[in-house]
Structure 1
């Protein structure tokens, strides 16, 4: 399958369109299970969803949000953790209850047992209705780094040096990052719908590779070529190297 490519004039219009995908899903299935990333790329989408919630244009009261990933050694109590960012940017502003949130605890004594816990919850919920993704400069999806097997559900990952370097932007002081805990490529491929968001010229080459490369574990984003219902949403800067016929 070829992912649907949607190109927007700017980051704001891309973000509004992504928010609309979530709102449309919740209108059809109020108890949808949605996996969300943290960080800068989805921030505009979150702001649009918070605004829609304040206006009563959408209802989050029955859905479940799954956190995409977390740094091992950190959890929501730590500034700059994935959970901290998602709480601040989205979950707290919309008043989500704890029983509607499933998130990896990067401080769990046994990370593999933590993966098993989340996998069991996902199985019980019937899997993901929607997963929203960003893309790393090395092509990673969530914290599935280059070379990660694609048959894994939630698992512990060894972080790529590129990820460790880029990840420092979320912290006020240098922070030791060596491993992550993440939903797997298998979770992504099994999700009923997958959306990838990318903006800015810095992501243009990554997106070109994601679409032009053969499907390979060396560049995890190519996995979306195998997804039955994937959409890659880009602003025009991120799309500048996309072939015209895509």
Structure 2
């Protein structure tokens, strides 16, 4: 696990953008795993700016998002499909249909999860998985639990995760769907490279435990210790307990 220390969130996004740009320049047909939330917004802004400047081409890229809420459609402003369209997909030349997000209105969520796994396999697997980190150590919507599911699956969200997403639902956690679909830790760990982006002092204890502690289902991010090529890009606040 490589730890790259940055001064602030802007520097975290700058370095992550360098990693993505380097991959796309070397491998124009790369397959990306993409997150949502507050942390990657600046990264997506930088990638869109580079594309607008003619420096980055997404025309052959395929992407798979980590998760989506159950029970809301792609036109709902709180959906992760809507988020991705707003912050990245509509701002770059990603070919129509190549940005894959789970369908929150699928009549059978389990079948939708299986379909998503098949799409990832058909694409040849994920070359670069970009992740954020929950304060409780969750990755995607793989919440701390006695056991974790390996593949894409349906999950009941903890109240802390609903609260963390309330900003996309008018600030009201009660409006956040109670369930979601998410890639499992096994699917995430099959990616060839992983970037974990972390900012903020509230994440510092989790970062330290993830790096130094035991591998445990009670801290899903700790499973990243098992991967051969992980880079943790964090700002000074998030790294304050590992320096």
TM-score normalised per structure 1: 0.94
- Aligned counterpart, 1:195: 195
Instruction: Quote the Cα distance in structure 2 between the aligned partners of 1:219 and 1:88.
Output: 31
Instruction: Quote the Cα distance in structure 1 between the aligned partners of 2:80 and 2:139.
Output: 14
- Aligned counterpart, 2:211: 211
Q: Deviations over 1:13-33 (max 9, x none)?
A: 110110111111111111111
Shift of 1:76: 1.7
Give the number of equivalent residue pairs.
241
Q: Give the direction of change, closer, same or farther, for the CA distance of 1:182–1:148 in structure 2 (3 Å limit).
A: farther
Instruction: Quote the Cα distance in structure 2 between the aligned partners of 1:178 and 1:148.
Output: 20
Q: 2:98 aligns with which of 83, 97, 100?
A: 100
Instruction: Please say if residues 210 and 219 of structure 1, whose CA atoms lie closer than 8 Å, have aligned partners that are also in contact.
Output: yes
Whether 2:219 is the aligned partner of 1:227: answer no
SS of aligned partner of 1:99: coil
Tell me which moved more, 189-198 or 150-159. Answer: 150-159
Q: Give the direction of change, closer, same or farther, for the CA distance of 1:47–1:215 in structure 2 (3 Å limit).
A: same
- In structure 2, runs of 5+ residues without a counterpart are none
Shift of 1:212: 2.1
Whether 2:159 is the aligned partner of 1:161: answer yes
Q: Deviations over 1:18-55 (max 9, x none)?
A: 01111111111111110111121001111110111011
- Aligned counterpart, 2:68: 70
Shift of 1:150: 4.6
Q: Deviations over 1:58-82 (max 9, x none)?
A: 1111010111101111232101211
- In structure 1, runs of 5+ residues without a counterpart are none
Shift of 1:11: 1.0
- Aligned counterpart, 2:179: 179
Structure 1's consecutive aligned runs of 4 or more residues displaced over 6 angstroms after TM superposition are none
Instruction: Please say if residues 70 and 81 of structure 1, whose CA atoms lie closer than 8 Å, have aligned partners that are also in contact.
Output: yes
TM-score normalised per structure 2: 0.95
Q: Deviations over 1:191-218 (max 9, x none)?
A: 0001110111111112112112200011
SS of aligned partner of 1:141: coil
